[in-house]
Structure 1
């Protein structure tokens, strides 16, 4: 009886939402094509949860580069070509610069006080300004290079020890440890994680706990009247627990930085910079403690593993293409001579190295679907009308492998990025107002690490192992299904 009463009470709401969420009809205006959906759920049943970016790529070949889908109350637009991105950047960048509000992101970012998930508003613009001027400026990135160099050097020493005993190097773990150490030092002023850090398990546990929550499916995001299912399924409890654990972690870090007897290594790290801005009014906008915690959420979720993933996939591609590896090593070793390490000044002259890094990012973007955007107003893209309030996915995976843009799109060919070659702008780090402010830092880390890894060592696969290009299913990031294992041999 109770079920019948609930159904009768819910039916009018369901019918209203159904008619509101149907594909819009705008007279003579051309609406983006897309697969037909079902009442209420739209295209939800068609979404491939294994590899969503590949599924969208397949659909785009059938329905076109600007595609429409419905998921409950959400209108989805999927962009799959560089040409459509160029049109957005040129004509509609501001309109495409907001973010949809999701239950998990809203909670973990302290009601959108961060930079990555915040709506396009005055507060976001002020926070973005702080990010560009104080956290990720070229001057600031340059000041962190001694940390990059120190951590890469320590990684090289460990690999050399493994090489001397013919121990197989778990390249996946090695690169994750490297980037976690770098991130911890520049963000927290100490190693909090990695092989040498204290609190290692806690930090990594938080990272692994947060990723699936932030990218998880909450019924409320698509069917608000069914939010009670999130409570029954335990998703709400998981989010509450994750928020509590992260908040406690951030608070401890902030209190450590406010202690007058703190370690000298905390001077000039990200938390120190933001606290000084808060206290000294050195910016036109004074962030609160919750603003700082919101930015820490962005840094924790995007600061280390994305760059480690990019390095791992680039090395995988080089192992699959020995001639490319040989050409890269010849360039670096010819220039490096007898140096102990390749440094940032050297990298500026290593054009093939920089091309290899770009090609790795093209073929293997760490986030194959960029963080979704939301349109603020109605606009037109590729001849189609996009409604205001539409959620927009940019399929970086499909764009990086679009044969209309890239010659031999599925081949790892760094030459395309050399002078005079094919050189469209990469969108791995986003674009326009919502481009990732940490792009310069990530590229610097990638180039320095890769240059020294192939400068000092020759690499080969363990016996009876092959190159594995499988990706981990149901992951928001492009993680390898199996760890990359290699044998290093010291040559320099």
Structure 2
């Protein structure tokens, strides 16, 4: 689909590089102080997703970020009403339905304004057509698809708003969660951290910063990301699927219309398929052809088949670039209050994604002296 085609994702490269570099500069200003990397990484990935979706000129960025944050907290939270959906009184007792309706209305209003803003911009005369396609954001692409009717059934504004929200919630949270887990695992495995840093610093040498031109040459960093996704898939459970025909799995009959949920977390730690499954070992992927595309059913962090996550090509650069920049520009240590522990607490918390229970706070030690030249794009 044009919405997340490789060409379209590549068109957002300048956004990614600028936003990640801004994050690096802000961390450099906190030299000597602990940095909450969880918040830094989350902020940059949501900013990238927002700019890619709405464009640089939208005046609704801040408002959408605010209401979306509240919506994601509610959607990822636990409620007794979810466990006992037939007991309608629980929705009133917990107040969850009222809160959801309020937040839904707020999100809908902001998205309505964003669509209206883009429709007005599309109606304005263009001085030339050369830059028009290049400057299109994801909302522009959706409106173009809507007006063309290329999918047969007419896409309504509500359809577009649903796609935008799914894109934002899925694109930001999964990328930031994966990058955060990768750093945490490398802190607990200094050998892996050093090898990944040495590789990134060798590839980009004295250029002063990292860009996307050679980031795929960092084979060990790619292995680190794959291993992180094996141990910490952003979505522990894949979205439910419905059996279209009766089948049998290991002697169990699965009737037609049965809802099946795949536990990706358990698949990635299955000792029948993985050696030392609980060990963080990126080397297992160095000589392996295993990829993210669902070709190997013992490794499906993004799902598989026709229903595989369509945002893989958008998510990966949002993981690779922040990680490479953080590894290139800084050495990382635990703050004094935590350094007495042998390892970071790796407890998980469940929501829309499976993140860390505690925010990741680390002490950055600049690898290069920062100057205007060393951080210039």
TM-score (norm 1): 0.66
Matched, 1:490 2:376: no
Higher mean C-alpha displacement, 279-288 vs 432-441 = 279-288
Match of 1:294 among 150, 162, 166: 162
SS at match of 1:345: coil
What is the root-mean-square deviation in Å for CA atoms of aligned residues? 2.7
Match of 1:408 among 273, 276, 281: 276
Deviation at 1:151, TM superposition (A): 1.1
Partners of 1:422 and 1:296 lie apart in 2 by 31
Deviation at 1:271, TM superposition (A): 0.9
> Counterparts in 2 of 1:166-245, with a 5 A limit?
166-190=32-56, 200=62, 203-213=65-75, 216-217=78-79, 219=81, 223-224=85-86, 226-245=87-106
In the alignment, is the contact (CA less than 8 A) between 2:54 and 2:138 conserved in 1?
A: yes
- Please name the residue that 2:127 is paired with: none
In structure 2, the CA distance between the partners of 1:191 and 1:179, relative to structure 1 (3 Å rule), is: farther
In the alignment, is the contact (CA less than 8 A) between 2:227 and 2:282 conserved in 1?
A: yes
Partners of 1:380 and 1:297 lie apart in 2 by 37
In the alignment, is the contact (CA less than 8 A) between 1:172 and 1:485 conserved in 2?
A: yes
- Please name the residue that 2:351 is paired with: 475
Partners of 1:242 and 1:406 lie apart in 2 by 43
Partners of 2:8 and 2:107 lie apart in 1 by 26
In structure 2, the CA distance between the partners of 1:445 and 1:213, relative to structure 1 (3 Å rule), is: closer
Partners of 1:198 and 1:285 lie apart in 2 by 29
- Please name the residue that 2:7 is paired with: 139
Partners of 1:435 and 1:354 lie apart in 2 by 20
- Please name the residue that 1:391 is paired with: 259
- Please name the residue that 1:431 is paired with: 304
> Counterparts in 2 of 1:62-461, with a 5 A limit?
133-163=1-31, 166-190=32-56, 200=62, 203-213=65-75, 216-217=78-79, 219=81, 223-224=85-86, 226-260=87-121, 267-420=135-288, 424=296, 426-461=299-334
Deviation at 1:478, TM superposition (A): 1.3
| Per-residue Cα deviation, 1:149-207 (whole angstroms, up to 9, x for no partner) | 111111111122222xx121110111011101101100111388xxxx97636623432
- Please name the residue that 2:375 is paired with: none
| Per-residue Cα deviation, 1:432-475 (whole angstroms, up to 9, x for no partner) | 11111001211121111111110111111111314433435453
In structure 2, the CA distance between the partners of 1:374 and 1:438, relative to structure 1 (3 Å rule), is: same
Deviation at 1:384, TM superposition (A): 2.2
Match of 1:464 among 306, 318, 337: 337
Count of matched residue pairs: 353
SS at match of 2:362: strand
Which of 1 and 2 has higher RCO (CA within 8 Å, sep 6+)?
2
| Per-residue Cα deviation, 1:234-284 (whole angstroms, up to 9, x for no partner) | 23322322221121111011111112389x999411111111111233554
Gaps of 5+ in 2: 125-131, 369-377
In the alignment, is the contact (CA less than 8 A) between 1:187 and 1:271 conserved in 2?
A: yes
TM-score (norm 2): 0.85
Partners of 1:173 and 1:289 lie apart in 2 by 32
Partners of 2:274 and 2:199 lie apart in 1 by 25
| Per-residue Cα deviation, 1:268-320 (whole angstroms, up to 9, x for no partner) | 11111111111233554441111101112312321212211110010000001
In structure 2, the CA distance between the partners of 1:393 and 1:232, relative to structure 1 (3 Å rule), is: same
In structure 2, the CA distance between the partners of 1:218 and 1:242, relative to structure 1 (3 Å rule), is: farther
